[in-house]
Structure 1
Amino acid sequence: MYSFDMIRRAVGKTLGFVGYTIQYGCIAHCAFEYIGELVTCSGPSMQPTITNYDVVFSERLSRHFYRIEKGDIVIAKSPSDPKMNICKRVIGLEGDKVCTSSPSDIFKTHTYVPKGHVWLEGDNLKNSTDSRSYGPVPYALIRGRVCFKLWPLEKCGSLQESPNGRILRDD
């Protein structure tokens, strides 16, 4: 009888632990999916704003409420490789006319961003694979909007405006 009580208590504690683990796992999943997440960035495309191994906070609420604006930095699924995320700045929203050529081109070309899409570019125009390569990005690929930089600590805070002046404002 004594061993049966021990087994019953052990099974009860194990099931209780599994239940709490599932509960907290669901809460964590919802928080990361609908509120935000920490993202470690890599690659040169957003320099000098975001450099290799910078850690940023990407909030998800703006994406769900269609509050992404020109000038925002976003995390999105790569249109060319869905297993990869990209970090780029929103240059144009649906209906905007954007310059598709690089700054050094003599003849400038333009296009309109189609409905349901955004135009994304890296701040480091000479070393960025972005909408100039793969075209407008579907809004559904946006995962979140970068709010602020957390690491390195000496650069912690909100992010600066685009250093290359490629965003055309309506106002």
Structure 2
Amino acid sequence: MAQQAGRRYLRAFVGGFFVAVPVTVTVLDRVAYVARVEGTSMQPFLNPEGVSACDVVLLNRWRVRNYEVHRGDIVSVVSPKNPQQKIIKRVVALEGDFIRTLGYKNRYLRVPEGHLWIEGDHHGHSLDSNSFGPVSVGLLHGHASHIIWPPNRWQRIQRSLPEDRGPLLSSHAAEEEEEF
């Protein structure tokens, strides 16, 4: 009798496992997952306490599936320098925008079609578009929507840009006024 119960339990566990794994993989691949944000490049907004603590954010993969991002969004992208690494930065300019760079080879540039200009909030301590140029929207990996750890910092991430950053001239000016 105990042997039959053990077999039923094992069969139920294996059956549940073969259902749970594909569902979990699909959710993580298509909908959302959590990621640790390490380093100082997004300070003071993320990791304000420095190296001693790391923020954990919810990355919404569903939102970027159609490459829908806006200026001020914090996004995760596959690093153009190291495809094995993902980086998290703020979108400063969209395709068609004219931007004043902070140390890129061209002082002013127009963001090419199908690209974004991304920067860390902690200028000078960030490997971002000022180092490697505009980033293809095909490298988008997720949109940071919430800080979920530590508990005292739990919040929805609002779209914002530092006053001294942003495009000099936007090809999307009418759209931006409606969004904010």
Instruction: Provide TM-score, normalisation by structure 1.
Output: 0.84
Instruction: Say if 2:76 is the partner of 1:80.
Output: no
Contact 2:71 2:161 survives alignment (8 Å): no
Give 1:33's aligned residue.
Answer: 29
Instruction: Say if 2:137 is the partner of 1:139.
Output: yes
Q: Secondary structure at the match of 1:63?
A: coil
Q: Secondary structure at the match of 2:75?
A: strand
Give 1:157's aligned residue.
Answer: 155
Q: Aligned partners of 1:129, 1:48: CA distance in 2, in Å?
A: 16
Identity of aligned residues (%): 31
Instruction: Say if 2:87 is the partner of 1:91.
Output: no
* RMSD across aligned positions (CA): 2.4
More displaced 10-residue stretch of structure 1: 156-165 or 30-39:
156-165
More displaced 10-residue stretch of structure 1: 13-22 or 50-59:
13-22
Cα offset for 1:165? 3.0
Contact 1:123 1:164 survives alignment (8 Å): no
Instruction: Say if 2:14 is the partner of 1:18.
Output: yes
Q: Secondary structure at the match of 1:146?
A: strand
Cα offset for 1:164? 5.3
Aligned residues, how many? 163
Contact 1:40 1:54 survives alignment (8 Å): yes
Give 1:49's aligned residue.
Answer: 45
Contact 2:118 2:128 survives alignment (8 Å): yes
Distance change >3 Å, CA 20–CA 99, structure 1 → 2? same
Cα offset for 1:17? 2.7
Give 1:122's aligned residue.
Answer: 120
Q: Aligned partners of 1:101, 1:163: CA distance in 2, in Å?
A: 14
- The unaligned stretches of length 5 or more in structure 1 are none
- The unaligned stretches of length 5 or more in structure 2 are 48-52
Structure with bigger gyration radius: 1
Cα offset for 1:159? 2.8
Give 2:69's aligned residue.
Answer: 68
Instruction: Say if 2:80 is the partner of 1:58.
Output: no
Instruction: Provide TM-score, normalisation by structure 2.
Output: 0.80
Q: Which amino acid aligns with 2:79?
A: S
Cα offset for 1:96? 1.2
Cα offset for 1:163? 3.6
Q: Aligned partners of 1:14, 1:151: CA distance in 2, in Å?
A: 36
Q: Secondary structure at the match of 1:125?
A: coil
